[in-house]
């Protein structure tokens, strides 16, 4: 089920703004709106079934998150990061995931661990079946679940903000066979260290895991090209 199928039929006005923000964010994070691509407000309003007011509010919020760039009198476009910015963000994300790994080993519940194990099994199965969107989705869920298990709201909020800026490349870039094998091995080892509650070892693994992503993410961003703005699909978000 895709983003807009999930959001169809929701009519509560109190949720409307959040739904528009989530929908636009997902277009960016899943790569439909690529770095440097312009935001076509008319097309997106038609696609979502909304007026420009909630869309522009969503654009302002995502600009504050660092996902969009506001251009005076020219609308907005998806942010394109430089190699230096990507490297800086990954360094911080590595530190955050390392801290989360250590904290989660001390705080994770049996239920949370079981859920992560199940997600990891689903991720591996998706990879074996060649279902790469399914693999990347489960991969992201594992990292976010470990972060959540750390039980630190500030850590989680900071991570969410920074991770979103490189998420498209991080969770969808192509890998070599060696990189695939390492990714699978790393995640299996994460599960093992969580079971052992070995915080120091998991912290180091999480940092090293992020560091290994740099060549993949750098290549993905250097190859990104602007695409035509999204907005042609017919599924809508109800504004009523």
The closest alpha carbon to 212, from 158, 159, 176, belongs to 176
User: What number is the average pLDDT over the span 232-239?
Assistant: 43
Query: Domain limits of the chain?
Result: 3-78, 83-222
Burial 3-36 (b: 16+ CB within 10 A, else e): bbeebeeeeeeeebeebbbbbbbbbbbbbbbbbe
* Torsion angle, alpha carbons of 215, 221, 224, 227, to 10: 140
Residue 38 per-residue DSSP state: B
- Contact (Cβ atoms closer than 8 angstroms) between residue 204 and residue 105: no
- Mean pLDDT score across all residues of the chain: 83
Same fold, 3-78 and 83-222: no
Q: Please tell me whether residue 32 adopts helix, strand or coil conformation.
A: coil
Whose tokens are 């091995």? That residue is 185
- Distance, CA of 240 to CA of 232 (rounded, Å): 21
pLDDT digits (tens, 9 = 90+) for 198-218: 999 999 999 999 988 877 776
| Predicted pLDDT of residue 214 | 79
Report residue 161 as tokens.
Answer: 């903000």
The closest alpha carbon to 233, from 26, 76, 44, 9, belongs to 44
Cβ–Cβ contacts within 10 Å for residue 106, how many?
A: 11
- 83-222: CATH homologous superfamily? GntR ligand-binding domain-like (1.20.120.530)
Report residue 42 as tokens.
Answer: 């008319």
Give, in words, the CATH class of 3-78. mainly alpha
Burial 172-183 (b: 16+ CB within 10 A, else e): bbeeeeeeeeeb
The closest alpha carbon to 31, from 184, 164, 209, 158, belongs to 164
Between the two ends of the chain, the Cα-to-Cα distance in Å is 22
The residue ranges of DSSP E strands in the chain, in sequence order, are 68-71, 75-78
- Distance, CA of 39 to CA of 59 (rounded, Å): 9
| Predicted pLDDT of residue 41 | 93
Provide, rounded to the nearest whole percent, the portion of the chain with pLDDT above 90. 45
pLDDT digits (tens, 9 = 90+) for 112-151: 999 999 999 999 999 999 898 888 889 999 999 999 999 9
């Amino acid at each position: 089920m895709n983003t807009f199928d999930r959001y169809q039929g929701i009519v509560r006005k109190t949720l409307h703004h959040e739904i528009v923000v989530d929908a636009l964010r997902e277009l960016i994070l899943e790569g439909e709106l690529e770095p440097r691509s312009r935001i076509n407000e008319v097309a997106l309003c038609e696609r979502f079934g909304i007026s420009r007011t909630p869309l522009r509010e969503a654009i302002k919020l995502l600009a504050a998150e660092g996902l969009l760039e506001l251009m005076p009198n020219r609308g907005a476009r998806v942010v394109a990061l430089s190699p230096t910015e990507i490297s800086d963000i990954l360094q911080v994300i590595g530190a955050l995931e390392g801290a989360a790994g250590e904290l989660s080993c001390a705080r994770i519940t049996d239920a949370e661990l079981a859920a992560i194990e199940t997600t990891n099994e689903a991720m591996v199965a998706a990879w074996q079946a060649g279902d790469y969107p399914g693999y990347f989705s489960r991969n992201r869920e594992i990292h976010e679940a470990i972060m959540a298990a750390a039980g630190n709201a500030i850590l989680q909020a900071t991570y969410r903000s920074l991770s979103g800026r490189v998420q498209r490349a991080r969770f969808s870039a192509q890998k070599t066979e060696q990189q695939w094998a390492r990714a699978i091995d790393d995640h299996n080892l994460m599960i093992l260290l969580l079971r052992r509650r070995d915080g120091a070892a998991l912290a180091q693994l999480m940092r090293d895991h992020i560091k290994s992503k740099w060549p993949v993410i750098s290549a993905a961003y250097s190859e990104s090209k602007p695409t035509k703005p999204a907005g042609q699909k017919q599924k809508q978000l109800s504004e009523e």
